[in-house]
Amino acid sequence: MYSIPTLFLHGIMIGIAATVILDIWALVAKRAYDAAPANWALAGRWFAHMKDGVYRHDNIADAIPVRGELAIGWIAHYVIGIVYGILVVAIWFFQNASYPTLFAPFLVGLVLATCAAWFLMQPGLGLGVAARKTPDPLRMRLRTIVNHVVFSLALYLSAIALSDYLA
């Protein structure tokens, strides 16, 4: 049985590794089919405005720029990846599963992360629920799903790759 600090460390490492894999996927997708990468500066602007109680914008690009917004966006991106990694490990722990198993990464990486994107982040950025205000909502929705499938697989594969180290 693992201690709670050890489980947190496992979750942190899995979350970071999976987020790195997702970022590599974004580079591959940009090159393969000219998919626009995430704009972490705008995400950082959105997070930074939250300290003033502003959680939703009509258009985040029109919001007042914030010093360090690019760094804030990247840090938030990795912190969220870490939180998802910890959630995956917590589910495995409470299932008493000998991890890694596929259920937890897909529950967290696909279901939870996609819902967070569609119902929190995209509306907060001014894109509407499930990107309905974008020029091509279906494409944005599919891209969100594909990215989160990649992230789910990355959570799972990161756990497998790290399992000897984490044992």
- How many Cα atoms sit within 13 Å of 136 on the Cβ side? 6
The secondary structure of 77-132 as a DSSP string is HHHHHHHHHHHHHHHHHHHT--S--SHHHHIIIIIIHHHHIIIIIHHHHTS-GGGT
Question: Model confidence at 4, in pLDDT bands (50, 70, 90)?
Answer: confident
Average pLDDT of every residue of the chain: 93
Backbone torsions φ then ψ of 148, nearest 5 degrees: -80, -25
Q: Which amino acid is at 53?
A: G
Q: Which residue has the higher pLDDT, 2 or 91?
A: 91
Q: What is the pLDDT of residue 167?
A: 57
Nearest to 46 by CA among 60, 34, 59: 60
Where do the domains of the chain lie?
Answer: 4-166
Rounded-to-integer distance, Cα 8 and Cα 1, Å: 13
Q: What is the pTM of this model?
A: 0.93
Asked if residues 128 and 122 have their Cβ atoms less than 8 Å apart, the reply is yes
159-163 average pLDDT score: 87
